[in-house]
Amino acid sequence: MHEFALIDRIRKQFSQTQPEVLLGIGDDCALLTPRATLAVSTDTFVEGTHFFKGTSARAIGHKALAVNLSDLAAMGAKPLYFLLNLTLPNTDESFAHELLAGIHALAALYQCALIGGDTTRGPLSITITVFGECPADKALRRSAAKAGDEIFVTRKLGAAAAAVYARKQNIKASTALCKALDFPDPQIALGMALRGVASAAIDLSDGLVNDLSHICEQSALAATLQAEDIPVSPAIDDLPGINAQQALQFAVNGGDDYALCFCASPLRREELHAICANLDLELFHIGVMYAKSDASQGSVQVWHGAELLPIARGFQHF
């Protein structure tokens, strides 16, 4: 499939428009007239780093967009449109079609319009840049958590990390585990509902402890988590030979959950329960933010009863 044929295909497949997009695909630039504050995020998705060689093209496409939408969710933003930079190693038409189908299905779900991008040849890599809208004063910033805030997640954690473990160990992972890793579901509706309710939020891409430490650092606070309260995905039980401690490790330090982790004042509990009931989500209160008294402490501590657990930091790309 030649480059211009690919671009033509993309243009036809992603024909959805948005009123504030004056000019979409096909010129030197897209032209936008945003009505509200724009939230912008971008993530690159590289074979061998972010997904295993051999992952289905549809999953790659889905996840490349999903991880970006998850950043919008973490800000409380509503998806509007996106840019797609596609680097393909060859002209395999069916691979390109499946990849685009994976992106398109998720984009259509959120009525997120493609406004431009780039296609080039090289080692398989996808960069997506998403644009969302969000009232500036209600955006969920990492820096606005308060001491005494409670820490929540609304999804059981660790399944994607368990799937990574299984693939690395050459153990067959169940459908549920594979789905958690390959087709993450960004919590867009939750993010929007948390505007003005949560004090801070982040999406879990690099592991709970690692990601929560960013909120701690930017809010100049620390966090304690109670291991018994951290919801561990029951799908991990599908793996042979994994004990409860290892499962907890997946939930605490594993990446790729793409669930929101957020902080809120205890005064907001009732609202949070109502939001989660509306969205058919479980609310898990996993810990509390507190003023850091000792700079030498790690910013996130995980306790099991009265025992402080040794925890390793999560994922770095290099």
Which CB atom, from 46 or from 101, has the smaller least distance to a second copy? 46
Which CB atom, from 72 or from 227, has the smaller least distance to a second copy? 72
Name which of 71, 92, 89 is nearest 134 in CA terms: 71
Least Å distance, CB 11 to a second copy, is: 12
Least Å distance, CB 137 to a second copy, is: 10
Least Å distance, CB 120 to a second copy, is: 5
Q: Do strands 307-308 and 300-304 pair parallel, antiparallel, or not at all (unpaired)? A: antiparallel
Which CB atom, from 36 or from 176, has the smaller least distance to a second copy? 36
Q: Report the 3 state secondary structure along 142-166.
A: HHHCCCCCEEEECCCECHHHHHHHH
| Cβ contact 33:22 at 8 Å | yes
Q: Report d(CA 170, CA 168) in Å as an integer.
A: 5
Q: Which tokens hold the place of 182? A: 């390959």
Angle at the Cα of 178 from the Cα atoms of 174 and 183, rounded to 5 degrees: 145
Which CB atom, from 49 or from 278, has the smaller least distance to a second copy? 49
Quote the longest CA-to-CA distance of the chain. Answer: 63
Backbone phi, psi, residue 16, to 5°: -60, 140
Least Å distance, CB 143 to a second copy, is: 7
Q: What is the DSSP string of 61-76?
A: HHHHHHHHHHHHHHHT
Least Å distance, CB 86 to a second copy, is: 8
Which CB atom, from 41 or from 233, has the smaller least distance to a second copy? 41
Least Å distance, CB 306 to a second copy, is: 32
Question: What separation in angstroms does the CA of 106 have from each of 65, 73, 95?
Answer: 7, 14, 17
Specify the DSSP element, H or E, that contains 110. Answer: none
Which CB atom, from 13 or from 87, has the smaller least distance to a second copy? 87
Which CB atom, from 176 or from 196, has the smaller least distance to a second copy? 196
Q: Which tokens hold the place of 141? A: 């910033």
Binding footprint of a second copy on the chain (CB under 8 A): 1-4, 22-23, 26-34, 37-44, 46-50, 71-72, 74-75, 77, 83, 85, 87-88, 90-91, 115-123, 125, 127, 129, 132, 134, 136, 139-143, 201-203, 218, 316-318
Least Å distance, CB 227 to a second copy, is: 25
